[in-house]
Structure 1
Amino acid sequence: MTLGFDMTSETGHRLVESLDLGFDPRAIKKEVRRLVTPKSVSEYRAKISSKANLPEGVILDPAAGSGGQLLAYSKYLDRPCAAVELSPQRADFCAYQFSKASNNSSVITICGDGTDAQGVMGIVESKTGQTSICMLHVDPARPMDTQKHAVSEMQPSLSVLLESWSEYIHVGPDGPAMTLDLSPRLARQQMLEIEDIVLAVFPRTSMTWEWLSRGGGRVDRLCLQTGPLADIGSASRSVRLWNDGSFSTLHDDGDILDTSDMGWSDYKLCLGDLVALIDPVIPKSGLRGVFEECAGYARGELVWIGKSERRPLALLHEEIHSGSEVRPFVVTQGVVVGRMASKLDLMSIDSLASLAMENNIATIQVRCSLEPRLHKRITDRLRQILGQIHGSPGFLIEDGGSEDLVLCKELEV
C-alpha cells in the first residue's frame, strides 16, 4: 500500500494517508524492527492508562517510530490518537500499520517535527476537531549505552519537547498525563535530571518511576509516569508482566527507597540455607525494603547476598508461598545441597551431575554467569546425563560470599 499526503501545513507537517495498494512494508520493516516495543508491553501500558482519569483530547506520540504503542492506545482508550514521525519512511510505515488495524479510524499519522507543537496541532485540529492533548507518550531515541551519554543527547530533546507542548497538553491538579519511555540502563543521576526537566515545565507534577520485567533475568523497560498516570504518593513501581498479558505490581507507599548499591552482604552460603533468586526489578526500583515487609520480614531483616544486576539473591528464613504479594517477583527458591569450588565448564560437568544425582536432582537450571557459546553445550550435556533420573528440579547459582558455585534443590510449588 503506497502512501500519499493530502494535507500540508504551513510549517511543512504533512498528513499521511493510505492511497494505493502497491506499498511494500518490507522495504522499511527491517529499519523499524529495533524501534518496536513488544506488543505485550504496549498493551500493558494501554490497559493501565485506560484506568486513569484522562481528560478529553488527543493522545499524542511525537516520535512514534513503528507506531505500535499508539496502536495499543487506540485499541484500549476511547480517545483519538496522533502519531508524529520525522522520517518519511517511518511515517509511511506507521500509516500502513494503522490502516491494517480494525480501529484505525481514530489514529492519524503526521510526517514532521514532533517538537513543533503548533505545526502538528494545525493538522490535529482540522482532522479531529480536538484542540488539546490529553496524554503524551514519548519514547526518545537514545545512544545505545545511555549511562555514558548525557540526557541532553536523547532525541527529541525532552526539555524542548515538553516546553513546546505545554501550551496544548491538559494540566490537572497532579500535572499532565505523560509516559516517558526511557532506557532501563539510566543511572540514578540521569533519572534526577529527567525529573528536573519535567518539573521545570510542569511544577508540582506527581511522578512514578516504573520498572518492568518480562522474566528474562533483566529489567526490560523503565518509564516515568506523570499526573493521573502516576501512583499518587508512590515514587517507584515494579511490574512483572506475564506471557498471557496479566501482570503483578509492587510499589512503595511513600517509603524511603533503598539505594541499589548499598545493603548487600558477602555472606557465604551453607548447606541447608534457603535462598531465593529475586527479579532484578526489585533492587533496581529501590523496593527491597517493601519486598521484605510484604514477605513478612522487618525492613532490613532479609539478607541480600552479593550484589548482582541480573541475579539478586536473598537468604530466607522460610519459603515465600504462592499467595504472597511478592511471590511473582521470586524467580525461584530452594535449599542449598552442595558446593563446587571449580568454575562451570565442560570439564566440570560430570562433577556437577554426580552432585545432582547424590541429592536426587533430575534437572538443573544454570543461573550463573556463563559464556553463551557454552551454555547450550553444558545444559544439553547435563540433560543427557540426568535424563533417566527421577527426582526434583534444581538450580545452580554463584555464591555471593565466595567464588564457588552452589547447587540448590528447588522447592516444590
Structure 2
Amino acid sequence: MNEEPTHIAIQPSAEIVKRAEKIAGATSARKGEPAFHMTETLGRLSTPWSIAKARAEQIDATVLPAGVILDAAAGSGVQLIALTTGLRRPGLAIEIDPDIALLCAANMHSSSEEDDFQRSMDRVLVGDGCDAENAIVAFWNSLREAGTRAHPPIGMLHLDPARPRDAQKHEISEMQPPLAPLLAAWSSHLETGPRGPAILLDLSPRLSDDQQGLVDAVVETTFPGIPRTWEWLSQGGGRIDRLSLWIGSISSKKTRRCVRMGTKKVMASVEGEPRSSDMAKLELPPPFGAYLSIIDPALVHSGLHEAWLEQAVPEESGRSWLRLEGRRPLLITTDPLNTDA
C-alpha cells in the first residue's frame, strides 16, 4: 500500500492562474506595482512590494551561494518573487494551506517573463516547511517529471513565520513554523559561501531585546560562528515597521543596520555597532536658536542613533538627547541636522 505524499508539488502555469481566479482576483496595491492574487487577510499579512523589492536589491547576487531560493512559509509569495526575479534564481515555495499555495503559484507565474528559463524550475509545495527531507525529494521529483534532471541545492532560505495578530509583544515560541526545528531541518541542504549559507529571517518588530537574544541563540546553535546583521526598517509614523535578521552570505560586515523606507525606495540607511547614550535634563527652556528634532524610534531601537548623529551634525556642534524612549525620541542640537545623513 502506497503512503500518501507529504508534499504536493504545483508548477506555476496559466492553468494555475485560472484556478486562482476562482479564489481571489489579481489586484495591485499601488499604481505601477505588480498585481497579485490575494484574499483580504492575505493582503494584510503580505510584505509590501516596495519593501520586498528593496530587500532583494540589497543582496549582491555574486556572493550568493549557488542554488534555488527557498521560502519555507511563502504565503502569497511576494517576497520570494522579488528575490527570484531580482536575483535571477529559481524559486521554491512551501505553504501548508492548499488555497494559499495555489495563489502563490499563480502569483509566481503572473510575475514571470516567458523567456526566463529560471522560471521553468519554480515550484510550490503544499506541505510542512519543517519537513526538509521530504520537501526536497518532492521538489526534485517534480523537476524530473517535467524533464529536468538537475538536483539543485538551496542557495538561500527566506522565512517569514506567522505570529499572533494584535498582540503587543511577540515571542519566538509563537512562530509558525517554529524557528529552531526549521533551521535545523534545512541546515544540511543549504549551500555555503565564504561567509556561510544565506538566510533571511523576517521577524516581528514586536520582539523584545530578550526575544531577539533567543533568536540569536537559535542561529548560533545551528550555525556556530556565522555572521549576522539585525535590520530595523521604518516607514515613518513613529514605529518600527519591519525587523529582520540577515545571516551568513547576505549579512553585512556590521552587526546592525537601520533603514528608512519611502513609498517606493530606500531613503536612507546606516550601519554600525550599537552604542548607549546619556540623556540630558533640561532645567531651563532651550536656548534661543537651538534646534529640537524628533528622531525616528527605529534608529534608537537599533542602537545606531549615535553613529547616525556623527554624520548628521558637525563634530563641533553641541548635542544632547532629551528623550530616548517611546515613539518620539527628542534631540537638541546647536546646528541644523544634515538631512542627507
Q: For the superposition of Structure 1 and Structure 2, which TM-score range results when normalised by the shorter chain? A: 0.7 to 0.9
1:312 matched to 2:306? The reply is: no
- Aligned with residue 196 of structure 1, among 205, 217, 224: 217
Instruction: Tell whether the 8 Å contact from 2:63 to 2:193 is kept in structure 1 after alignment.
Output: no
Deviation at 1:45, TM superposition (A): 0.7
User: Using the alignment, how far apart are the partners of 2:167 and 2:196 within structure 1?
Assistant: 27
- Aligned with residue 207 of structure 1, among 219, 224, 228: 228
Deviation at 1:125, TM superposition (A): 2.3
User: Using the alignment, how far apart are the partners of 1:106 and 1:239 within structure 2?
Assistant: 33
Q: How do 1:13-412 and structure 2 match up within 5 A?
A: 13-17=7-11, 18=13, 19=15, 21-22=18-19, 23-26=21-24, 29-51=39-61, 53-103=63-113, 104-126=119-141, 127=143, 129-144=150-165, 148-232=169-253, 234-252=254-272, 255=273, 257-259=274-276, 263-267=278-282, 269-270=285-286, 271-296=288-313, 302-322=319-339, 324=340, 326=341
Instruction: Tell whether the 8 Å contact from 1:58 to 1:130 is kept in structure 2 after alignment.
Output: no
Summarize deviations over 1:325-352 as a string: whole Å, max 9, x none.
x2xxxxxxxxxxxxxxxxxxxxxxxxxx
Aligned alpha-carbon RMSD (Å): 2.5
The structure carrying a bigger strand percent of its residues is 1
User: Using the alignment, how far apart are the partners of 1:89 and 1:299 within structure 2?
Assistant: 60
User: Using the alignment, how far apart are the partners of 1:75 and 1:216 within structure 2?
Assistant: 30
Deviation at 1:189, TM superposition (A): 0.7
SS of equivalent to 2:158: strand
User: Using the alignment, how far apart are the partners of 1:168 and 1:180 within structure 2?
Assistant: 17
Summarize deviations over 1:253-279 as a string: whole Å, max 9, x none.
xx4x134xx633342643543112222
User: Using the alignment, how far apart are the partners of 1:102 and 1:62 within structure 2?
Assistant: 20
Instruction: Tell whether the 8 Å contact from 1:275 to 1:313 is kept in structure 2 after alignment.
Output: yes
Deviation at 1:13, TM superposition (A): 0.3
The two structures have a TM-score, normalised by structure 2, of 0.83
Instruction: Tell whether the 8 Å contact from 1:174 to 1:204 is kept in structure 2 after alignment.
Output: no
Partner of 1:12: 6
The one-letter code of the counterpart of 2:100 is R
User: Using the alignment, how far apart are the partners of 1:263 and 1:90 within structure 2?
Assistant: 49
More RCO (CA 8 Å, sep 6+): 2
Against the structure 1 CA distance between its residues 313 and 52, is the aligned structure 2 distance closer, same or farther, given a 3 Å change threshold? farther
Structure 1 runs not aligned, ≥5 long? 1-7, 327-413
User: Using the alignment, how far apart are the partners of 1:314 and 1:105 within structure 2?
Assistant: 53
Partner of 2:31: none
Deviation at 1:300, TM superposition (A): 12
Against the structure 1 CA distance between its residues 74 and 133, is the aligned structure 2 distance closer, same or farther, given a 3 Å change threshold? same
Deviation at 1:11, TM superposition (A): 4.0
Instruction: Tell whether the 8 Å contact from 2:313 to 2:336 is kept in structure 1 after alignment.
Output: no
The one-letter code of the counterpart of 1:108 is R
User: Using the alignment, how far apart are the partners of 1:82 and 1:182 within structure 2?
Assistant: 20
Deviation at 1:221, TM superposition (A): 0.6
Instruction: Tell whether the 8 Å contact from 1:210 to 1:222 is kept in structure 2 after alignment.
Output: yes
Instruction: Tell whether the 8 Å contact from 2:169 to 2:206 is kept in structure 1 after alignment.
Output: no
The one-letter code of the counterpart of 1:265 is A
